[in-house]
Copies of this chain bind each other. A is one copy, B any other.
């Protein structure tokens, strides 16, 4: 057992709660919308505000790091224990756009505390989940009587996550020395639910592309020429249809090469989650489940690589009919990848597959937008065990495991810094990320701080990365 007493942490949190929430609300008032150039000054103001709070929290080093886009905030608090690991906490201080007329019940940048929740853009994604770390480390120090955390603590809070993290890789490459650590802890994900607290162990990777198909040099009359020349809309459709086998597995040759298959243990853990397909379909706004044969819905979205048609277009799209063979068509495809897959090999496989399937008379161009790698924490990693214990103490029950189907900068931390990535997030699906009326559950926010307070102690006790 950890030497830090639960009661001391909890009473500190209880006493600090109101002031903490007032400060978070102050931060939420800054509309740090990174996608909108008009808010560039607000993103900068948000970085400065956070830097000030981290200094107040006690971090001896706090720096605003410039990028060609919006600034990030870096903070560092060395431990006194030379054997203790170094942990880098990742989050972001920019937010999605929001406007009252999108369906918000109150002004998105005038936070409101109501019914145990704090409403406002960024409440859960990600300001709330960044800010609980300031409270967590203070509780950790207060309860243990330490003057520095049990682990060497670093924070990197970026300002461009909601607009694609355009300069993030560049930033962490350039600052790799300052960011060196034994593990990264991402606080930008969620849990299964308030009743079923979970830890994420991995995210899928992503590589996406556009395929432009060119047939006739202009739209031509389908009566005069149809049936005798290749039609790029038909060929785009044939490509998109050929992406999957009849069993809905991906049909691009080599796509599954080298993948880390789901272990029976992880499949069993997923199967234990209280999954309600009807409820899940409602969150998906969908009317049926459909995917790769032989896998459950959770396995399909969390742990299986996929190919998706994000967009298709070609020919006439106005009202009524127009009897043409169109000149052009376009496909936008994305591929989600899992550990073991190599995005470059997949890109090459897609290029070869496309070239092989298209008939003479159809010229094509493929543009890949880039690649985000998948990340996966081994289930037996000692740092993951620490996260599970720390959250287990805070929540008073066993923590289950999930993954995330999406893709994010976590993979960059893993790849550039060469460390395992852990996840500590307390948001729940109803928090409305990127949607109107985003909120965070106040009790869960405090559980996040409590988990962090235990985590630094547990990591120092159970894991020496040296």
Contacts and interface: CB of A to CB of B under 8 A. Distances in A.
Contact of A312 (B204, B243, B314): B314
Copies per complex?
A: 2
A376 to B, nearest CB: 15
A311 B316 CA distance: 5
Contact of A223 (B311, B315, B325, B406): B406
Nearest to A323: B334
Contact of A231 (B297, B309, B323): B309
A204 B316 CA distance: 21
B233 A290 contact: no
A310 B237 CA distance: 12
Contact of A284 (B225, B242, B309): B225
Contact of A289 (B217, B229, B321, B323): B229
A201 to B, nearest CB: 16
Interface stretch (A79-87, A356-364, A411-419, A442-450): A356-364
Contacts of A284: 216, 220, 224-225, 228-229
* Of listed A223, A242, A244, A311, residue having the most chain B CB within 10 A: A223
A288 interface: yes
A310 B285 contact: no
A236 interface: yes
Contacts of A289: 228-229, 361
Contacts of A147: none
A241 interface: yes
Minimum-distance CB pairs A-B, first 4: A288-B361, A223-B406, A227-B306, A237-B240
